[in-house]
Structure 1
């Protein structure tokens, strides 16, 4: 085996093992311990974070932040990866902000001069616009970690002018229209809720010994089916104008499962919505103006009439 191939396989091996001795690796790769020591030294110089321990139970281990083996990208793949990360710059908060900036620098600095020139020219020709929000969401990382590892969090949450402590178990985080949201099981409500991440003012792992629920089957792709029960729901039906009404609703992430489009271009919204969110839906549909006609539920229409009356009263 050539030295370069051996170093590449060694990098993948130590990432997988995490803890090992020089003798173990030397036997696995069929080289002397002296050769293996030299190889490990070269890996360390390449940036693999190795740590050595002395003593009868000593050896080497890879620190928490592992280094991935080299990946060969084509020019088009490298440019695509660069702009995928570059698009995140519009977000005021990210769950991996420092890491994405570091990855972007590595992509750019290790490209040849002609590819960097191409990227420089493309920066002013392509963009992924996201509304710039003033609100920060500083706890995205711990929310994501808790979702991945099935952990319970204690948060301080501010909503409608008040702030209260909540115990939640996140199932993920997602961004919509420049804002971050965290669907989670709320111990206070005994049900699933969606939390605005910029309204979370603190988040720490729970230390009261609350047993996490097994939510591995709940994820962002199927969360809607867990978020409402029959008695809490209302049946929505609304007609949409062709093109504009449909297009305005296509841009709304949380309406995706409710939107239906006919061949001639008109569409309609149909499905269950949370009863306690009717005021929110009323404000949303009023914002669509003549592009929507709400048919049901009657409670939603009542909220909309009330809002219309309040708006009209301002201009009497």
Structure 2
């Protein structure tokens, strides 16, 4: 075995891991990086120098901890992209994050957030101008890509964010600890801890204005499941009636037949699942459950079960179908 080549591959993998860590968070101390990479702080310093020689602008802060952060550079790091290729890449990611590419939203947003950290200043104006011309249909509602990048960066760097948000007929300034961005069928939401209301909240990003990341960092709190929290909140806000139903079918089978924006499907074991759904009327909920094609039990609310029994009684009163009349010309 070629030991020298093996050591070189190990160093390369470690340096790439270091680059990934620097892209995940605004700043790291030397000991934090050393712990993540399972090396000494001296090795971290050497690896940082390797990144700098490759063109990555890694800045070192003062202090015993030796803080490091990845800053914007005068040139793109060595992905070997020229200016036109870099612009095309960013605009394509904007389209993906905005829903023009089905299923690509989350991955495109993560990549866009990373690339924005190292995009040369001279390209930013051109990228934003071109991004404004990107539209889509059949996906999420269009959003300002800079708002998405600002919120994604605040989530990544664990810093507070502020924005104006409507409540009734008034607009209030909200101060939050941003946690996750969640994409639904047509909209983007932010799950965040609302500092003024001292509780978790979800916010529609298209309703935000004057969005800005703040300089105050925060210590992450134990958080609910972002997708489930936002999904359940959406069904509760949109629909007048809500229900919990135990369906005698697997969660995967039920998810294939319901919209993510209209129901939350929770596995319950033994081949069953709980469906938390909403609709404008109790009849609509019952129709949706019947169309699933599986047996079900109504858990909540009680009036839905009463309504189901009344509907069943009316249907049974119709009686059996009348057989078709015989055709006299048939033998």
State the TM-score, normalized to the length of structure 1.
Answer: 0.44
State the TM-score, normalized to the length of structure 2.
Answer: 0.43
